[in-house]
A and B are shown apart, each in its own frame.
Chain A
Amino acid sequence: MSPPIRFEMRRRTFLVGTASAVVAANIPWRANAQPTSLAGPERSTFTLVVNGEPRELAVDNRTTLLDALREHLQLTGTKKGCDHGQCGACTVNVNGERINSCLSLAVMHQGDEVTTIEGLGTPQQLDPMQQAFFDHDGFQCGYCTPGQICSAKAVLEEIRDNVPSHVTQDLTARIEATDEEIRERMSGNICRCGAYANILEAIHQAAGEPT
């Protein structure tokens, strides 16, 4: 029998108290007060190259790339699911890499090449990945779909570039687009409708297409 690891339970405390009708002011508990005057302008003007087209924006510094696309450029194909990097619905491609556009400030993308779902294809002329999602019913409600498609295209490129993943067995060998690799790499795109099995089939179809 192994010796036990010594530990002691940490003491817990009552925070709220049990008395009824306690009056409490509730100022949201945030970090220490900060200065209120700013060291510079709170808006910026810059240019993004969106789907190949330069687009000048003059926006609040706080504007995320996601909100710049959806609210200012009215490119609403990119979705806001959580706004906190926890779902992947906002996935776009920036300078050749997929990112969560909700966790990136638009002002930090001066001159960057941004590709959104609108830049991939149209209902009349689908990108092979869009066609594959359509063919395999790789979606239901459709809300995570643009993010899934943008992510899926990048996943195939990452595999071609031999970028390893959590499930890569041999870090020094050439990586193949196996079921396991695709599933792991697509795990940053949540589909609550649960179309994963169909998305996998779609990605395999697209992987077989010439690029």
Chain B
Amino acid sequence: MRAFSYERVSAPAQAASRAAEVPGAKFIAGGTNLLDLMKLEIETPVHLIDVSGTGLDSISDTREGGLRIGALVSNTDLAANERVRREYGVLTRALMAGASGQLRNKATTAGNLLQRTRCPYFYDTAMPCNKRAPGTGCAALGQGAFSRQLGIIGTSDACIATHPSDMAVALRVLDAEVETVTPAGASRTIPLDEFYRLPGDTPEIETALMPGEFITAVKLPPPVGGRQAYYKVRDRASYAFALVSVALVRQSDGSGRVALGGVAPQPWRRAQADAALPDGANAVMSRLLDGASPTEENAFKIQLAERTLAGMLAEG
């Protein structure tokens, strides 16, 4: 971990402006992913802006009947929130499928969105990685590389990493929006489907955020109702990243929404796949995963995603 200087800020706009002013600065709140990466020098900020005192730790109702979730609300508090449990159950389910109790107490809503991939090659600085060190190559696509956990769609020849968040998959299926403040003090709203960038030739650029831009909240539209479920498939029963996860909102008429985790560099959802939900899991997946590019090791995720959704639909 490189040496860094440290400051606390008390207001969101101050956070953004300081981040733009100080070269090599990064925000820190929960720190559960950033410190992990700093210890390995995958992240090397020289200045940390502690935003935990910016007061963004409450959940409130919006005028439209939705929910505004402060950027600093912990994963535990978000999952335990009465309205979330009652009206956005898929979000509670997804949050509780992630990490551990200890990590969820620290991890924040914005930090969860911004967590970086768990690709083992991204995590090993002796290995080439276009995301960590642009232009060095993708070790995960090497001959005989280990890619079982990695992405099958939305990936590129430069990077096959997945976004590891469970929470983001539920937010995607709920049509969440990300609210930010820019270094100039302007606020803007980014729909979650525009928030994550696909890797293409620049896998190091992961989101639509501009330098210094600071997430203040995540907004949920009014509840969509329906039966909400999140199924996370993993080798061990807990405390593991997803092989595949499925967020499902299903209305009584059979219509609904589906998003996938563990398969792509972003929570993966397609409108035409949602539309096929009444026709069953195969119809959904043939649209959602059309044109996938798996490796021999992770091609099973295609069938797994379909079977997982089929199981969820069979359960009623």
Quick check: do A and B touch in the complex, using CB within 8 A?
A: yes
Q: Give the bracket for the number of chain A residues in contact with chain B.
A: 35 or more
In this assembly, does A162 line the interface, its C-beta being within 8 Å of a C-beta of chain B?
yes
How far is the CB of B27 from the nearest CB of chain A, in Å?
Answer: 12
Contacts of B97 in A (CB 8 A): 166
How far is the CB of B288 from the nearest CB of chain A, in Å?
Answer: 9
How far is the CB of A109 from the nearest CB of chain B, in Å?
Answer: 10
Q: Give the bracket for the number of chain B residues in contact with chain A.
A: 35 or more
CA distance A7 to B153 in the complex (A): 9
Question: What per-residue 1/0 map shows which CB atoms of B18-37 lie under 8 Å from chain A?
Answer: 00001111001011100110
Tell me whether A31 and B132 are in contact in the complex, defined as CB-CB below 8 angstroms, given that A7-B292, A107-B6, A188-B101 are known contacts: yes
In this assembly, does B56 line the interface, its C-beta being within 8 Å of a C-beta of chain A?
no
In this assembly, does B61 line the interface, its C-beta being within 8 Å of a C-beta of chain A?
no
Closest residue of chain A to B292 (Cβ to Cβ) is A7
CB interface residues, A 74-92, toward B, < 8 Å: 83-85, 88, 91
Tell me whether A171 and B36 are in contact in the complex, defined as CB-CB below 8 angstroms, given that A35-B23, A42-B4, A151-B102 are known contacts: no
Q: Which of B79, B128, B137, B237 contacts A187 (CB 8 A)?
A: B237
How far is the CB of B277 from the nearest CB of chain A, in Å?
Answer: 15
Contact B126 A29 (CB under 8 A): yes
Closest residue of chain A to B96 (Cβ to Cβ) is A166
Q: Which of B50, B125, B306 contacts A108 (CB 8 A)?
A: B50
Contacts of A171 in B (CB 8 A): 85-86, 89, 92
Closest residue of chain B to A163 (Cβ to Cβ) is B80
Task: List the one stretch of B9-17, B40-48, B167-175, B217-225 in contact with chain A.
Answer: B40-48
**In the complex, how many residue pairs between chain A and chain B have their CB atoms under 8 Å apart?**
217
Contacts of A5 in B (CB 8 A): 282, 285-286, 289-290, 292, 302, 306
In this assembly, does B133 line the interface, its C-beta being within 8 Å of a C-beta of chain A?
yes
CA distance A165 to B79 in the complex (A): 9
Contacts of A4 in B (CB 8 A): 286
In this assembly, does A105 line the interface, its C-beta being within 8 Å of a C-beta of chain B?
yes
Contact A84 B39 (CB under 8 A): yes
Residues of chain B whose beta carbon lies under 8 Å from any beta carbon of chain A: 1-7, 22-25, 28, 30-32, 35-36, 39, 41-48, 50, 52, 76, 79-80, 85-86, 89, 92-93, 96-97, 99-103, 105-106, 125-129, 132-134, 136-139, 141-143, 145, 152, 155, 157, 160, 204, 237-239, 282, 285-286, 289-296, 299, 302, 306
Apart from A10-B293, A35-B23, A171-B92, what are 10 other A-B pairs with CB-CB below 8 Å? A8-B292, A37-B46, A38-B3, A62-B4, A98-B102, A103-B32, A103-B103, A163-B80, A164-B96, A187-B239
Residues of chain A whose beta carbon lies under 8 Å from any beta carbon of chain B: 2-16, 26, 28-32, 34-42, 44, 60-62, 64, 83-85, 88, 91, 97-100, 102-105, 107-108, 151, 154-155, 158, 161-166, 168, 171-172, 184-185, 187-190
